[in-house]
Every structure is written in C-alpha cells, then in structure tokens.
Structure 1
Amino acid sequence: MENHEDLSKGKNIAIISYLTIIGTIIAILMNNEDKSEFARFHIRQALGIFISFFVLGYFIGYFDSWMITSAFWVFIFVLWIFGFVGALNGEKKEMPIVGSIFQNIFKSL
C-alpha cells in the first residue's frame, strides 16, 4: 500500500517536472517538503531531457543541417513524450537509451 501512497502524492509533481525546465525546478522544490520516490524518478528523467536538449542542441546547431537538427528534435520530443505519458499513467519506466544514464547522473536528487 505504501507504493500507492507514494504514487498519489508524487504524480502531480512528476507531471509538473516535464513542463519546461522551470517546471523541473519547481518540481524539485515541491518534492523537498514531502519526498516521493515516484516524483524523484521523473524529476531525474525530465532534468536529463532538458539538460541534454540544451547541451547537445548547442553543438548540433553548428552542423547547419536540417536533417541532423530534425533528427535531434524528434529524438528529444520522443523522449519527452515517453516520460510525460509515463508520469500521467503512474509508471516508472526508464526512457530508452538514456534513462539509466539520467538516473545514475542525478541520483542525488
């Protein structure tokens, strides 16, 4: 039953974490009061998406190729949809390819 309680209190925070980088920061602050492992999982995933977007996007911009840029946008969008839908459905599924990396890098959150 403890898992159901964690899910119910962390679901809104998890959803907020996917709404821009500002939403992720707000979710981190909201989760500081009442720690939820479900929310922490999704905060780590969302933070990983947004940081990857900004860091990789900076370098991909130098390629000046619509094909590379389009592939990058699609990749980021698919990751975001995967995480957001998982938060909506109350699932803790790691994102394909990069999910375990995000969980390891941001494990202190």
Structure 2
Amino acid sequence: MSTSIEHDEAGQRYVIYVDGDEAGFTQARVEGDVVVMDHTVVDDAYSGQGVAAELVGAALQDVRSSGRTVRPSCSYVRHYLDEHPELADLVEPAGEPSA
C-alpha cells in the first residue's frame, strides 16, 4: 500500500491518497495562528489500516512546521493527540482564542 498526503490549502484540508486513490481527508481551517481541525473522514475501504493516523500525524507535523497551534475540534484528532502526548505543545492554549 503506497500512500501520499497533500495539503489542499484552497479546500482547507489535508488529503491522503492510497495507491493514487483519495482515501480520506481531515479538515484544517486556518484562523490566524491556529489551525482548526474539525472533521476527519476515511473511506470504509481503508478503515482499520492506520490511514487516519497517518493522515492526522502528517497534518499535525505540518502545523508544527508552520509555527501554528491546533484546535482539535474533531474527536479523532483529539484521540490522536491523547495517544501522542509528545504533541501536546501543538494544542491551542485554553482561554486564548485565535486572532
């Protein structure tokens, strides 16, 4: 299984492709210095294969490289962050809404 991930800035999302086919996406809306991640979808054909984890992990690394923080409104993104405490510094501080 060959995967690639693209940041579709115009569509405000990250898209994962498996063997050239779109397998899923995570919404990523930029609000100032914060990236709001509020929805993640993976096609049923790729469920249980780690596709969502690969996608969200790559998106969060891109957020880190951009110098922004993330507001994890999506339950899957929150779960991923809970499972990866080393990424806790990426989470938008409470009480500090984006500009």
So what's the TM-score if we normalise by structure 1?
Answer: 0.27
Question: Higher helix fraction: Structure 1 or Structure 2?
Answer: 1
Greater relative contact order, per chain length (Cα 8 Å cut-off, separation 6+): 1
Question: Higher strand fraction: Structure 1 or Structure 2?
Answer: 2
